[in-house]
């Protein structure tokens, strides 16, 4: 009897600030662009915050690939300033 290995993947969630959003159609365009990337499991873009919450498999897609998808859709990924999202940006080592 052969046993099958069960591979468990830890998903990652990123909150990405997006520049250039003008309305609901823009949010839908971001959702579609990110959702089309292999490895993305869910996307929700908020016009109120101008942020997209993206859950993805980091073994299949990188955050850099997500930023490319945003740019290809005609928008800009805006890197968070230190502490803005509660995390260190890594720029100062703090």
* Residue 88 domain flag: no
pLDDT of residue 36: 97
Residue 8, pLDDT > 70, answer no
Number of structural domains in the chain: 1
What are the start-end ranges of the H helices in 1-94? 24-35, 63-72
Q: Is 2 a member of any domain?
A: no
- Residue 94 confidence (pLDDT): 47
Would you say 80 and 74 are in contact if contact means Cβ atoms under 8 Å apart? no
What residue numbers bound the domain in which 35 lies?
12-78
pLDDT in tens, 20-35: 999 899 999 999 999 9
CATH of the domain at 22: 3.30.70.100
Task: Answer yes or no: is 63 within a domain.
Answer: yes
Return d(Cα 33, Cα 75) in angstroms, integer: 10
Q: Has residue 4 been placed in a domain?
A: no
**Residue 61 within any structural domain of the chain:** yes
What strands, in cross-sheet order, belong to the sheet with 12-19? 40-46, 51-56, 12-19, 76-78
Question: What is residue 80's predicted lDDT score, i.e. its pLDDT?
Answer: 73
Residue 41 is assigned to a structural domain of this protein: yes
Spatial separation of the C-alpha atoms in residues 43 and 89, rounded to whole Å: 23
List, for residues 54-79, the tens digit of each pLDDT value: 999 999 999 999 999 999 999 999 98
């Amino acid at each position: 009897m052969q046993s099958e290995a069960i591979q468990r993947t830890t998903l990652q969630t990123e909150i990405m600030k997006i520049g250039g959003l003008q309305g609901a159609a823009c949010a839908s365009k971001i959702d579609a662009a990110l959702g089309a990337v292999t490895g993305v499991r869910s996307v929700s873009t908020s016009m109120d915050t101008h942020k997209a919450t993206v859950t993805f498999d980091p073994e299949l897609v990188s955050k850099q690939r997500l930023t490319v998808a945003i740019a290809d859709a005609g928008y800009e990924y805006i890197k968070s300033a230190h502490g803005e999202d509660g995390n260190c940006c890594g720029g100062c080592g703090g």
